[in-house]
Each structure stands twice: as structure tokens, then as C-alpha cells.
Amino acid sequence: MSALVNKIRLYWPLIKSTQTGLLLATGIAGYLSAGTPIGLPTLLGVSLTLFLAISGSTILNMWYDHDIDAKMKRTHKRPAAAGQLGRAEVFWVGMVISILGVGGALLIAPLYGAVVFAGWFFDVVVYTLWLKRRTCWSIVWGGISGAMPILSGRALATGQIDLVGILLALAILFWIPTHTLTFSIKFREDYANAGVPTFPSTYGETFTRATIAVSSVLAAVAIGWASVLIGVSAGYLRLIAVLTAGLLLLAFATFRVQSERVNFGLFKYASLYMLSAMIILAMKAF
């Protein structure tokens, strides 16, 4: 029993629980945003399959990037990088969880499964295996991958890829750079040591901060537009408008004040903004 608990304790950091949780929340919000009657078994199925597919791709990312992670102060204690888990073990755990997640999604609905698989493919194959070590623009593909959970949830509820689903996916796509680029500024030496090309090392910090600000604005526009199309009530639209104003204010501040603190503030606020927006969109179902 204690051996099992020990294993779980080692496996848990492999899935980046906060990031996985937030992406799972977007998927559930995408499903609930359609306002269709909630089927509890379907909701549980969406939650489980998305959790497994996102976790599986994250574990495979950790498996492939163990050498990079070992060179970075921020990540060198991760179980795969620190050698607490063998490479083959991490690979097979990632593959089994991925197959369970994507396979389960395909069983629930082919379209839903196809979108979930697209997310897994973009993350593992395009982002991790192909582009991450070659170009700083790999984050676009990481972003597309991150946008798939919300699109899949929406597609499952509506039975099609609609404009709202695409806008919600764009919102996530534009939100992800505030996360990854802020990290790439804060830990630029780490990334340089590991030889990973980043926006700050390729284009400089000013351009990177500008990109963060612009992408935050675009994420806010996409969320606002999607909220109107979804038919969110006037009260919640006012709340989204207020939160968006705060986001734009901080994005503007990152232009004016070249400060890591303001940048990190924008990153945290953008995460809070996205979580709040997801909760508001999910309200549509109740």
C-alpha cells in the first residue's frame, strides 16, 4: 500500500496539476456553455477523458524533455528529470493514460474524440517532439493544443464546430502566451542554459512584453465576443466587461512599466480572468 502511495506521489507532479486543472476547467466550461441539458454521465465522461488525455500528453512532454528539465533550476526536481522515475516507466505511463483518455473520448463521440486527439497530437508530436527545440514560435502550436479542450467540450455539446467554439478556442490560444512568455522572461537564464529558443532570447524583452500585452487584449476580445454570442445575461456581461477592463489596464501597464513584477501581475491576473470567464460561461447551463 505504501509503495502505491509512493508511486502516486511521484506520478502526481508529472501531470502539472494546476495547468491540467485549468485546461480541464476550460473543457467543462466549453461543454456547459452550450446550455444544453446536462447529462451527468456525459459530464463525468468529459471530465475523466479530458483529464486523462491532458495528463497523458503532459507526462509524455516530461518524458521527452527530461534532459532540458534537468538543466533548468525551475524544473530539475521533476521526477523524470531528477531520475526518481525511469524514462521507460514515464513513457509507458504517459502512453497508457493517453490511450485511455483519447480512446475514451472517441467512444463518447467521434467528433469530440477527434478534437481531443488533435490537442494531444499538437502537444506531443508538433510542439514537444518537433518544434520546441527548434523555434520560439513553437508556443503557437502549444497554444493551439491548449485550445482544444474547450473546443472539444463545446463540440460535444453542440455536435459541431461552431463560431462560438472557435472564438473560445482563440481566447485560450491568445491567453496561453501570457503564461508561457511571462515564464520565458522570468526564467530566461534557465531556458538559455537548456538551449531552448524563446521569444526574449530571439526578439528581446520589449517585443516579448508587447506580444504578451497584445495577446491578452486579443484573448479578452475573443472571450467578450463569444460571451455575447452565447447569450450570457447582461449582469454577467457587465462583470466580464469589468474584468476585461482590468486586463487591458494591466496589459497597457506592461508597455509603460518595463517591470517583471507588473508582467507577473498580468500573468496572474490573466489566469484569474480566464478562470472567472470559464465559470461565467459555465453558468449558462444552470
Partner 1 sequence: MKMSMLDRILLLATGLLAAYQIVVGINDLSTAPIIAYTIAFGVLLVAGLLLIILGFDVLDSPVVVIVSTVIPLALSLGLVWEHLPAFRTPYLVFAMLGFLAVVLTRTIPMQNKLPTVVIAVVHGIAGLTIFLLPIAIAVQGVVRPAFALVGLGGALIGLGGLLLSFLKAGRPILSRETIFKVLPGLLLLMTLCFVAGFKYG
Binding site for partner 1 (CB under 8 A): 233-236, 238-239, 241-243, 245-246, 249-250, 261-262, 265, 268-269, 272
Which residue, 99 or 283, is less far from partner 1 as judged by CB?
A: 283
Residue spans of beta strands (DSSP E) within the chain? none
Q: Please state the closest distance from residue 172 (CB atom) to partner 1, in A.
A: 20
Q: Please state the closest distance from residue 248 (CB atom) to partner 1, in A.
A: 10
Which residue, 157 or 213, is less far from partner 1 as judged by CB?
A: 213
- The separation between CA 259 and the C-alpha centre of its own chain, rounded to angstroms, equals 25
Start-to-end CA distance of the chain, whole Å, equals 41
Q: Which of 243, 108, 225, 245 is nearest to 166 (CA)?
A: 225
77, 190 Cβ separation under 8 angstroms: no
Q: What one-letter code names the amino acid at 256?
A: R
Q: Please state the closest distance from residue 264 (CB atom) to partner 1, in A.
A: 8
Which residue, 8 or 256, is less far from partner 1 as judged by CB?
A: 256
Question: Which residue is associated with the grid cell 505511463?
Answer: 93
Q: Indicate the helix (H) or strand (E) that contains 35.
A: none
Question: Which residue is associated with the grid cell 496539476?
Answer: 17
Q: What one-letter code names the amino acid at 111?
A: L
Which residue, 70 or 275, is less far from partner 1 as judged by CB?
A: 275
Which residue, 11 or 252, is less far from partner 1 as judged by CB?
A: 252
Q: Which grid cell is 267?
A: 500573468
Q: Which of 172, 74, 60 is nearest to 124 (CA)?
A: 60
Q: Please state the closest distance from residue 204 (CB atom) to partner 1, in A.
A: 25
Which residue, 163 or 241, is less far from partner 1 as judged by CB?
A: 241
